[in-house]
Amino acid sequence: MQNHAGTRALLDLEGLPPLHEMVTSSLATHAKNWWMTVIEELRGVRTTDEQISHVINIVKESHSFLSIAANAYDSIFMKEMNIPYMQTTYLMVSKKVNPCVRPLVMNIYNRLPSLDTEEEEETECEYRLEVGTSLWELYMNLGRLYQLSERLPAEARAESGVREYHRWFSKGVLRWLELAMCRARSMIKRAVELDMLEPQDKYCKFSSSASDTLGIFNDIKIWWQKLAWPDLENSAVLLTKILDNICSCVLCYSNLIREKVESIFHQYENSTRVFITEQICVGLNNIERVRTEMVKLPTQFGFSELLQKIRESDSGGESAATQLDATVERLIVSAAENTEAKLNEFIDTMLDKMQPTLERAVNEACEERSTVLAQVLDPSLELTMNQLNNSNFKRFLWRVWEVVVDIFTATVMRNSERRKANYFGGVHTILEETLKFFSPPDGKGLDETTAKTPAYTSLMELLESLRMSSESLIAQYYQERYEEQMEEILPCKARLYVKILFTKPGKLIVEVIMAKDMVVEADACSITSRGGGLGLHTSHQPVDSYVKVQLVPQEWFPATAIRKTKTQRKQDPAVYEETFEYEMSKTDDGVRAGFLLLTLKDYNLGFSNTFIGEAVIPLSSLPCVDSSEVHTVTNSCLTMTTPGLDIGYKSLRALQFRTGDKVASAFIKKVSKRLIEPKGKANTSMGKSNDDKARSKSPNMRERLKLS
């Protein structure tokens, strides 16, 4: 119509502009008149609350006005006049809304006080939260207003007056998060105070405070979803802060529950049996329940989807998305570990309260060889198995087991020097039964293999030793020496050639043939007859050697004399070729349990002979032949060694506890001479004095074994 010749003639006759310009001008005038009518609402408004209320109405009316323009008229004007009515009107209205809303919102948030004190939290913050609710309504309406621009070209959207409306509320969002944190902590604290720590129903094992806490987190999630923050990268940053706040609340909740349970424990401090209740189990389950849900937070808040949108955005946010993803992963992992630590602290607190009861039960069980410990544990562990969720039950049971093993260890160490072997035999049995109690065959407890921890294994080995007689421990020591001799883990001090056997008529024949490659450790602090000088050195010079032959433990062979070869003066190799016979049969059980000890020494005239090395042979390992077949037995080469203190002989450790046992004390004294560094042979009184002085500075045998 506007291009018709008649239309142009009429317009020219009246002196009017083209029809297109007239319509465009009329539409602009209409929009301005409408706007002037709308903003009349702000006249005479004084308070901030009134301003917010009226501005909300203005934004709502703007949305309605533009919606009608878009849905009813835009297509008509575009078709008939090629006028982008919606675009023109939208840009004009949005640019009018900007100065009407932006300064108001910015001013409000700039003037809000910080939440520094509890009093401000209860008064100012509550009032501001109400104002914030109005601002929230304003934010949502601005968002709907901005969404109308989605049908406009990109260049038109860029000119929108409300294009960055969300940035006006940045401080408001941070303020809301601050308020939400305060309110969440307050609500969680109140929920814990009101919680009776009773399961909500027969199908769940947690109580009301866990549900209330998760409900608070869900409210935050709903708020976040409704917020729909349009800036993707900034949205991810805000979400990270929200997740951080929630993780902080989870730790707060864990502490509150633990404190509540500690107060419950005071009611059972003097109990001799019951040390755990249903409430305590529920408290543990509550923490585990909240921790489990916390790990799911990124998924529930749609964090992965948000990161994907950032990666696909025009700005190319791959790097930012990767960084944010790593940040949130660290945040959740750290919070989960901290909460796990809180659970362990919770259990440790329980065990601290339980410890006196457990100690009494362990002591009674050890003294009476009874099932007192099981009687104490059984009711409580049955309760925990029924009331705790599986992960908490395993966690709790494991810690109880560790504490029980520690108590047994302390009990054994406390009684090690004043109790006899039969006491430790009883403790050994009780500990074995306790392990079975904690790892039943039905699989409801601990895995038996895993439960045999290094602490448990070490204690059982000690008990194995302590429950043996002193003579048996001495035999065990020689068995340990034989094993390390076979493994060749100690330096060789000499090679000894022998032939040793039993004859069927009932004789033990020991033929000492030769020794060679003898090494003597000499302490040259004193002047020796074979090497002067200062310092510790190894002598390879020929020595005055002889071999001592004896059956050990001596208490098992009281009628058997100690034999020794003749001394070979300054010979290496030293040839002895001497034979010793003992009347005994290998078929005798007592004989087979014993050992043959061959000791190589350096003879010193006027002084103690120097120990060079020794070899141990189990009598059970010797061949037994007819008298006519003795010549068929081959010679053996034995490696002579000295005992290694750093190896840590379990038998010596047990023997050193028996301070009142004459057999044990005598043996420890004997072995100590071979463990202490050999001293040089002195030929002056000064040399002997230095030797005594050096010995006095060294730790005694018992101290050294304890150190090992």
SS3 string of 432-497?
HHHHHHHCCCCCCCCCHHHHCCHHHHHHHHHHHHHCCCHHHHHHHHHHHHHHHHHHCCCCCCEEEE
Least confident of 46-60, 112-126, 132-146, 343-357: 112-126
Q: What's the whole-number mean pLDDT along residues 399-424?
A: 87
Task: Check pLDDT > 90 for residue 475.
Answer: no
Backbone torsions φ then ψ of 508, nearest 5 degrees: -105, 120
H-state helical runs in 369-453: 372-387, 390-415, 421-438, 448-451
- Band of the pLDDT at 530, cuts 50, 70, 90? very low
Task: Check pLDDT > 80 for residue 2.
Answer: no
Percent of the chain with pLDDT over 70: 84
What integer pLDDT is reported at residue 115 of this predicted model?
64
Per-residue model confidence as pLDDT tens digits over 231-271: 888 899 999 999 999 999 999 999 999 888 888 777 665 55
Per-residue model confidence as pLDDT tens digits over 349-390: 878 878 888 888 888 888 877 766 777 777 777 888 888 888
Q: In whole angstroms, what is the distance from residue 347 CA to residue 393 CA?
A: 11
What integer pLDDT is reported at residue 145 of this predicted model?
92
What integer pLDDT is reported at residue 491 of this predicted model?
86
Q: What's the whole-number mean pLDDT along residues 466-476?
A: 83
Q: Which tokens sit at 431?
A: 């500990």
Higher pLDDT, 685 or 501: 501
Q: What's the whole-number mean pLDDT along residues 507-514?
A: 92
Domains along the chain?
Answer: 1-168 (no CATH), 356-466 (1.20.58), 490-707 (2.60.40.150)
Task: Check pLDDT > 60 for residue 528.
Answer: no
Instruction: Find out whether 611 and 643 touch, Cβ atoms under 8 Å.
Output: no
Higher pLDDT, 692 or 147: 147
Higher pLDDT, 87 or 349: 87
Q: Which tokens sit at 457?
A: 């294994």
Q: What's the whole-number mean pLDDT along residues 549-577?
A: 89
Per-residue model confidence as pLDDT tens digits over 605-622: 767 888 888 999 999 989
